[in-house]
Structure 1
Amino acid sequence: MQPDIEIYLLSCKTESILDWLKSLFIIAEAPKKKEKCVYLTVHNQSHEIEIVILEEAAGKRFTSVWFNSPNTQWLNDIECAKDAFLALGCEVRCIHSGWEEEDNSDPDQWWIINQHKEGPFIWK
């Protein structure tokens, strides 16, 4: 189980991301927008999860969705990315393997899912 989940969505509207999240979770309080961030709290079974949506997170075209909890329905970032791609239809990127303190894996190794391919790649 990972301590958190983070995915990056290419050219995906924040409203679409919020609709996807509303289909998955019970929204505990209305999303709050501050500059290029949207903050929301959701319930997944008996767990409360904080989510941050950051527009223009990796260049102007990517939006980060960060689930600040180990209590999502996904075991890792790739599972979440697959669900997001199916629901939203936009390219999704995430770290290839979970990250932890003192992690010695290659920080440039990412996973990509789009209409043309799914698999590892180097994001530069």
Structure 2
Amino acid sequence: MQDLEIYIRDLESSAVSDWLANHLDEIELADNALGNQAVKGTAWYRGHRVRVSLYPGAGGKRFTSLILEGEDLPWDSDLDCARSAWRAMDTEIRCSPGDWKEGEPVEDERWWRLDQRGEQLAVWN
């Protein structure tokens, strides 16, 4: 199973489902009700189920973590996913620089930051 994770700054209501609707089929995600609680949903991609999870307040109060999990996903890496999200939502997107797994230290605490200045490796804070 693949998983992708990106962090979206100042996420606007329904922005994730609007973006994902262009890449996934039959998306069911109530991100219009996104507050301080996690939001979970499902979608399909090439006949495979995709779990979609949003976690507000991740990586600081202004970021929402988006996790996509499935056998097949539209993007090959967190960075590819982040690039697509940035083009669609025009807000800062961050992701890990490699094959980071929960509980492991992030290499040099650097993350990809995509915003109007471009793509760059930066320290989170």
Q: TM-score, normalised by structure 1?
A: 0.84
Aligned partners of 2:58 and 2:74: how far apart in 1?
A: 24
Structure 1 spans left out of the alignment, 5+ residues: none
Counterpart contact for 1:36–1:56, Cα < 8 Å: no
Does residue 27 (structure 1) correspond to residue 30 (structure 2)? The answer is no
Structure 1 residue 58, shift from structure 2 partner:
1.9
Identity of paired residues, percent?
28
Aligned partners of 2:59 and 2:106: how far apart in 1?
A: 21
Q: Secondary structure at the match of 1:19?
A: helix
1:9 corresponds in structure 2 to 8
Amino acid aligned to 2:14: E
Q: Secondary structure at the match of 2:98?
A: coil
Q: How many residues align?
A: 123
Structure 2 spans left out of the alignment, 5+ residues: none
Structure 1 residue 110, shift from structure 2 partner:
0.7
Aligned ranges 1:1-124 → 2 under 5 Å: 3-27=2-26, 29=28, 31=30, 36-100=37-101, 106=107, 108-124=109-125
Amino acid aligned to 1:7: I
Amino acid aligned to 1:26: D
Aligned partners of 2:102 and 2:87: how far apart in 1?
A: 31
Alignment deviations for residues 82-112 of structure 1 (CA, whole Å, 9 cap, x no partner) = 0000011001000011224896761612101
The CA RMSD over aligned residues, in Å, is 2.5
Amino acid aligned to 2:118: K
Cα distance change, pair 28–105 in 1 and its aligned pair in 2 (3 A) = closer
Cα distance change, pair 122–51 in 1 and its aligned pair in 2 (3 A) = same
Q: TM-score, normalised by structure 2?
A: 0.83
Cα distance change, pair 121–22 in 1 and its aligned pair in 2 (3 A) = same
Structure 1 residue 30, shift from structure 2 partner:
5.4
